[in-house]
Amino acid sequence: MDESWRIWEHLRLWLPGGALALLALGACAAFLFSGHSAVGRRLAHGCSALAGAALAASGIGGLSGGTLTVAHIRGALPFTDILLRVTEFSAFFLLVIGIVGLAATIYAAGYVKEYEGRKSVPLLQAGMLLFIAAMAGVVMAGNVFTFLLAWEVMSVVSYFLVMYEHERPGTKRAGFVYAVMTHIGTVFLTIAFFILRHYSGSFEFARMEQASLPASAQSLVFVLALIGFGTKAGLVPLHIWLPRAHPAAPSHISALMSGVMLKTAVYGFLLFTLHLLQPGPVWWGVAVLALGANTALFGVLHALGEVDKKRMLAYSSIENMGILFMGIGAALIFLAAGQKAAAFALAAVLVHAANHALFKSLLFMGAGAVLKAAHTANMNRLGGLIRRMPWTALFMLAGALAMAAMPPLNGFVGEWLLFQSLFALGFDGPATLLRLAGALAVAALALVGALAAFLSVRLFAMTFLALPRSEEAREAREASLSMRIAMGLLAASCVAAGVLPLVFAGAVQNTLERIAGFSGASSMLEVSPLAIAGADSEIAPAAAGLLLLCGLAAAWALARAIGGKTRTVRGETWNCGEPLEPRMTYTASGFSKPIRVAFQRLLLPSRVLYVDRDPRTPYFARGFTYTGQLPALVENLLYKPAMNLLVAGARLFRGIRNGVVQSYLLYLLATLVLILVWRIWR
C-alpha cells in the first residue's frame, strides 16, 4: 500500500511535466518527419494521445490536494523564472484539457486525411500539440511571465491554426480580427498584472495572493481583468472574433478552441477574482452577472439566425460563456456578502464549464464530419443525413441533447447547478435588490436555456432529418473510424457525466475548499455517486435516467397490452396530395423565423424580397429571390465608428508629412526654439 502510494506520489509530480514534454516532442517529431508523412503523423498523434491521457491523469492526481511544483526554471528569462505548478484549481482544468485533447487527437487522425497532398499536415499537427501544451501551461503557470508566455503562445499558435485554410474566403479576415482582439485583451491583462506586482512586490502568484491593495486599485485590476479575459472568453461586446475564427479553423481545432481555450479565460478570471484579489464589493458580481446575461442572450439569439453550422456553434459557445459568467457573478455577489452559497455557485460554474467542453467539442467534431462528408456547413443544403451517417447522427444527438440541457445528460447537471445558485440568490440574496436581480437572472437563464433547446432541435433536425436538400447531402458518406471513435468517446462521457455526476461534481468538491477561500466550502455541495445535493435541493440523474427507461418500457408494454400486436406500413408523408419534395421541407432559416420576428427590436433583421415578374403581365411572377440576414450589430455600432475615428485622426496627423523639405526643417527649428524657451522658463 505504501509502495503504491509512493509510486503514485512520484507519478503525480512527473505527469504534468511529462505531458508537456511529450507534446513538445510530438511537435518536433511532426516537423522532423514532415517528409515521411505517415510516420510523422503517427508519431505526433501517438505523442498527443499519450499526453492527453497524461494531462487528464495529472488533473485527477492534482485534485487530491496540495500544490505541486512541477518545474521551477530559474533565470530562464533575464528578469524572471519559469514556474509551473499544479493546484487543485488548475488540476480541474487539466482534467478537462486532457480529455478533450485526447478526443481531438483521435478525431484528428481521421480528419487530417483530407488535407493530405494539398497542405502540410505535420504543420497542423505540430500546431495542435503546441496549442494543447500552451493551454496546459496557462493553467499551470505560477508567476506572471510564465502565464503571459503561455497565453501568448496559445494565442499565436491558434492564430496560425485558424489561418491554416487561408485559401478559403473570409479566413484571412477572421485571423486578422482574432489576432487584434486577442492582443487587445493581452494588453489589459499585462497592465493588470503589473499593477498587482506594484503592490505585492513580486511576480509570483503565491505572493500576490497575500498582498492587499487599496480599494480603488482592486477595482481597477478587476475591470482590467474582466476586459482582458472577457475578450478571450467572448463576452459581448468583445466577442466579434469568435464567430469568425471558430468556423474558419479545422474542425478539431475549433473543438479545442471552443471547448478548452474559452475555459482558460474562465480559469484566468477566477484566478484573479478569487486568488489574486481580496473579496471585493457587490457591484463586481452584479456587473459580471449583467454582462453574462447580456452575452448569453445575444449569443443564443444570433445563433438562431445563422445557417452555417459552425458559426451557429460558435455563437452557442458565446451563449454558454455568458451563462458561466452569470454563475461567476452570482458567486462574486455571495463572496462580497460573505455567504457560503458562493461555493455552490463556483461549483456550478466549474461543472458546467467541464460539461460544456465535452459536448461542444462533440458538436464541433460532428459538424466537421458532416462538413467532410457533404462539403458544406450550410444547414439549408443538408438534411436526411441520419440515413447516410447513422453513427455520426447518434453521437450528434447526444451532443444536441446535452447542449439543450436535457436530463439525464451532463448539460442538465451543469444547468441545474446554475439554476440552483441563481435561485439561492433569489431566496437568500444579501439585499432585496440583489434578490430581484437573482430573479431576473433566473428568467434570463430560463429564456436562454429554452432558446438553446430550440437551437439544438434546429441543429439536429435540419442537418440529419427529413429529406436531403442538395446533391452533396444525398451523396454523403459516414465518417471514418477514428472520427467515430472520438465522437463516441465524448458522447459516452456526456452520458456518463450526466448520469454519474460524481465525475465532475465530485472532482469539483475537492477544489472548492481551496478556490472559495473559506472553510466549510466543500460542504455546500454533497455529491454521492448517483446524486447531487446542495442549496436545499437535490437531484438524482441516475434515478431520473432509470425512470425514463422504465417509462419507455412501460409505454411499450402498455401499448402491447391494450392494443395487441399491430403492423406498421410504410407510406408517403401527407402533403395535401402532392408528392413530397425536398423543397417542401422547412429550412433552417424558416425554422427560427418566429424568434427573429419576436426579437426583431434586438436583432434588427433585414430582408429583401425581389420579385421577378413576367414582363407580359404583372399578375404572374417568374421567380422570387429572398435575402435575409442579421446585421452584425456590435461591429456596426461600436467597432466601425471607433475605427473610423481612429483612421480620421491618423489622416489628420498624416498632413504633417507634406513632402516639402523646408517644412520638416521648420519643425526642427520650432522644436529647438521651444526647448530653449522651456529651458529658460524653468
Partner 1 sequence: MRDILFELLQLVVIVLVAPLVTGFIKKTKALLQGRRGPRVLQPYYDLYKYMRKDAVVSKASSWIFTATPYVVFGATLAAAALVPVFMRDSLFSFTGDLVLLVYLFALARFFIAMAGVDTGSSFGAQGASREMFVSSLAEPALFVTLLAAALPAGTTHLSSIVAHAAERGWPTSPAFYMMVVAFAILVIAETGRIPVDNPDTHLELTMIHEGPILEYSGKSLALLQWSASIKQVLLFALLADLCFPWGLAASADGPAVLAGLAVFAVKMAAIGVIVSCVEMSTAKMRLFKVPRLLGAALVLSLFALTAEYLM
Partner 2 sequence: MMLTATSVILVISALLLVWVKSIMSSIKILALQSLFLGIACLALGAQTGSAEVYVMAVLTILVKAILIPYILAATMRKINIRREAEKYIGRGVSLLLASGLVVFNYVVTERLDFMLLGSEIQTLPHAVSMLLIGLFVMITHKKAIMQGIGLIVIENGLFLLALSTALGMPFIVEIGIFLDVLVSVILISILSYRMDQTFRSISTDWLRKLKG
- Ranges within 535-564 binding partner 1 (CB under 8 A): 535-540, 543-544, 547-556, 558-559, 562-564
Residues 331-390 that bind partner 1 (CB under 8 A): 384, 386-387
DSSP string, 604-647: --EEEEEEEE-TT-TT-EEEEEEEEE---HHIIIIIHHHHHHHH
Q: For residue 489, which of 111, 19, 100, 93 has the smallest C-alpha distance? A: 100
Q: Please tell me whether residue 442 binds partner 1 under the rule CB under 8 A.
A: yes
CA distance 33 to 574: 59
Q: Please tell me whether residue 674 binds partner 2 under the rule CB under 8 A.
A: no
Is the sign of the CA dihedral 430, 424, 455, 397 positive or negative?
positive
Is the sign of the CA dihedral 400, 405, 409, 413 positive or negative?
positive
HSE toward the beta carbon, residue 312, CA cutoff 13 A: 28
Q: Which is nearer to partner 1, 467 or 633 (CB)?
A: 467
How is the beta sheet containing 525-527 ordered, strand by strand?
525-527, 532-534, 537-539
| Rounded least distance, CB 676 to partner 2, Å | 5
Q: Are 282 and 222 in contact (CB under 8 A)?
A: no
Q: Which is nearer to partner 1, 548 or 673 (CB)?
A: 548
Among partner 2, partner 1, none, what does residue 569 contact (CB within 5–8 Å per kind)? partner 1
Give the one residue of 456, 482, 509, 511 binding partner 1; rule: CB under 8 A: 456
Q: Which is nearer to partner 2, 1 or 661 (CB)?
A: 661
Q: Which is nearer to partner 1, 443 or 492 (CB)?
A: 443
Residues 611-670 that bind partner 2 (CB under 8 A): 657-662, 665-666, 668-669
Number of amino acids touching partner 2 (CB under 8 A): 16
Q: Please tell me whether residue 604 binds partner 1 under the rule CB under 8 A.
A: no
Q: Are 421 and 410 in contact (CB under 8 A)?
A: no
Contacts of 252 (CB under 8 A, 6+ apart): 104, 107, 108, 111, 128, 364, 365, 368
Q: Which is nearer to partner 1, 180 or 552 (CB)?
A: 552
Give the one residue of 241, 315, 395, 419 binding partner 1; rule: CB under 8 A: 419
DSSP summary character for residue 572: P
Q: Which is nearer to partner 1, 164 or 315 (CB)?
A: 315
Q: Which is nearer to partner 2, 609 or 669 (CB)?
A: 669
Q: Please tell me whether residue 680 binds partner 2 under the rule CB under 8 A.
A: yes
| Rounded least distance, CB 457 to partner 1, Å | 5
Q: Which is nearer to partner 1, 224 or 351 (CB)?
A: 351
Residues 276-305 that bind partner 1 (CB under 8 A): none
Among partner 1, partner 2, none, what does residue 7 contact (CB within 5–8 Å per kind)? none
Q: Please tell me whether residue 569 binds partner 2 under the rule CB under 8 A.
A: no
| Rounded least distance, CB 647 to partner 2, Å | 18
Question: 3-class DSSP state for residue 67?
Answer: coil
Residue length of the chain:
682
Report the Cα 79 to chain-centroid distance in Å: 34
Q: Which is nearer to partner 1, 265 or 402 (CB)?
A: 402
DSSP summary character for residue 656: T
Q: Please tell me whether residue 674 binds partner 1 under the rule CB under 8 A.
A: no
CA distance 286 to 333: 7
Among partner 2, partner 1, none, what does residue 579 contact (CB within 5–8 Å per kind)? none
Q: Which is nearer to partner 1, 105 or 355 (CB)?
A: 355
Q: How far apart are the first and last CA of the chain?
A: 79
Q: Are 292 and 322 in contact (CB under 8 A)?
A: yes
Q: Which three cell numbers stand for residue 34?
A: 514532415
Give the one residue of 450, 557, 673, 674 binding partner 2; rule: CB under 8 A: 673
CA distance 251 to 363: 10
Q: Please tell me whether residue 608 binds partner 2 under the rule CB under 8 A.
A: no
Q: Please tell me whether residue 525 binds partner 1 under the rule CB under 8 A.
A: no
Among partner 2, partner 1, none, what does residue 680 contact (CB within 5–8 Å per kind)? partner 2
Give the one residue of 435, 472, 478, 633 binding partner 1; rule: CB under 8 A: 435
| Rounded least distance, CB 316 to partner 1, Å | 14
Q: Are 319 and 513 in contact (CB under 8 A)?
A: no
Give the one residue of 553, 597, 672, 674 binding partner 2; rule: CB under 8 A: 672
Q: Are 588 and 307 in contact (CB under 8 A)?
A: yes
Q: Which is nearer to partner 2, 35 or 659 (CB)?
A: 659
Give the one residue of 5, 572, 607, 678 binding partner 1; rule: CB under 8 A: 572
Q: For residue 129, which of 4, 35, 41 has the smallest C-alpha distance? A: 41
Annotate 239-251 with three-state secondary structure. Answer: CCCHHHHHHHCCH
| Rounded least distance, CB 346 to partner 1, Å | 19
Contacting positions for partner 2 (CB under 8 A): 657-662, 665-666, 668-669, 672-673, 676-677, 679-680
